[in-house]
Structure 1
Amino acid sequence: MKLYTYDPAPNPRRLSLFLKLKDIQIDTQQIDMMTAEQLNNSYRQVNPACTLPALVLDDGTVLTEVIGMFSYLEELHPEQPLMGSTPLERAQAISWCHRLFQGLMVAIASALRNRGKNFHNRALPGPLDTPQIPELAERGLMQIHHILPQLDAHLASSTWLAGDNFTIADIDLLVMIDFLAWIKESIPDTCPDLQAWHQRASARAA
């Protein structure tokens, strides 16, 4: 296998934390997103969607979605499970990942890409140049401020996001909470249970 990634970016970090916690070693090549290397012809031949990370399997199959990489690697390395130990736990972890990606990751990315000058004409990832829409940045911030108290309320009665055990859902939320710093946001003081969870998750990931 070979992994193409860019460690500082949020989606690659989701996978890097998973690999670290599972102690999985994969041949890795960094693709510098700061110089738009992901748009170069050489990387397009690996992943025409121009997104990171991309995991090339031994048979040439290319996985481009982190949730798919989680699932594939969990099957290969079931020790230290991070996707739950029962069908229900697995379903809950995956459901939380989907909810977080749709509700929080996209909101943060919208707030970042639709107002930052570094993302001029790059409001969406991928090969298509897309104009910024400032209203989407404001909508993203509104969505962030709506979901954080919901997460705080949930974590008031749950040690980890998807139940009693640390899972990929906690990896995803940790990355997204840290991603908030890119738009100068953070967990508000009115969310003490989310703050306490963040301390637990950061220690677990370390």
Structure 2
Amino acid sequence: MKLYDAEWAPSPRRVRVYLAEKGIEVERVMVDLRSDEQRGDAYLAINARGAVPALELDDGEVICESAAICRYFEALQPDPPLFGTSPIEIARIESWTRRIENDGYTAVVYAFRNSRDAFKDRAASGKWPPIPQIPELATRGAIMWNAFVEGLDARLGETEWIAGGGYSFADITALVTIDFARATRLAVPEGDGNIARWHAAATARPSAAA
């Protein structure tokens, strides 16, 4: 199988961190986003959405979306578990992962895609007709981000890792999101010490460098 990857994009990084935690090695094919290789005919033949990552299986089937790729590997290799084992663990991890994606990651994408000249008429990732930027969405993203980190900091005042128990896919998702936000100049307020403690611990894991 082959994993179509990109160095600096957050979604491929989420898969890399997950695979590193699991100790799984997969052949990687790098896609150059800076030259728009993901929008070229060769890559579109693999993933018609023109987005990364994508996992091409040995039989030719392609799995897109970072969470779906990680779910696939979790089913192949359950240990160590990163999506939970008991019904309540699975539910907590799923709930926090979705909250981070919908409230945090979405906020960063709004701010990132709607405020940079490089994304003029490309306010959504992937292969779309021209989509104009909406400056108000960048403002919305900043408001959403502040509310998100406030809630996350409160949660991390109650538990070491986001979903309770051990390090999980929810923590991977949050790590990638917060690092992406920093690159977008959406900061975590200095007073949010619980996030700072958690982020230092997550970053210290060898998988964070994947």
Superposed CA offset, 1:39-82 (max 9, x none): 00110000001110001112222111111111110111112111
Q: Is the 8 A contact 2:145 2:186 kept in 1?
A: no
Larger CA deviation: 96-105 vs 165-174:
96-105
RMSD: 1.1
User: What TM-score does the superposition give when structure 2 sets the normalisation length?
Assistant: 0.95
State the 1:186 CA deviation. 2.1
State how 1:1-206 maps to structure 2 within 5 Å. 1-128=1-128, 129-204=130-205, 205-206=207-208
Bigger RCO of structures 1 and 2 (CA < 8 A, at least 6 apart): 2
State the 1:38 CA deviation. 0.4
SS in 1 for 2:126: coil
Q: Is the 8 A contact 2:12 2:53 kept in 1?
A: yes
Aligned residues: 206
CA distance in 1, matches of 2:74, 2:116: 36
What letter matches 1:29 in structure 2? V
CA distance in 2, matches of 1:192, 1:167: 21
Describe the shift of the 1:75–1:37 C-alpha distance in structure 2 as closer, same or farther (beyond 3 A): same
SS in 1 for 2:196: helix
Stretches of structure 1 that go unaligned for 5 or more consecutive residues are none
Q: What fraction of aligned residue pairs are identical, expressed as a percent? A: 38
Stretches of structure 2 that go unaligned for 5 or more consecutive residues are none
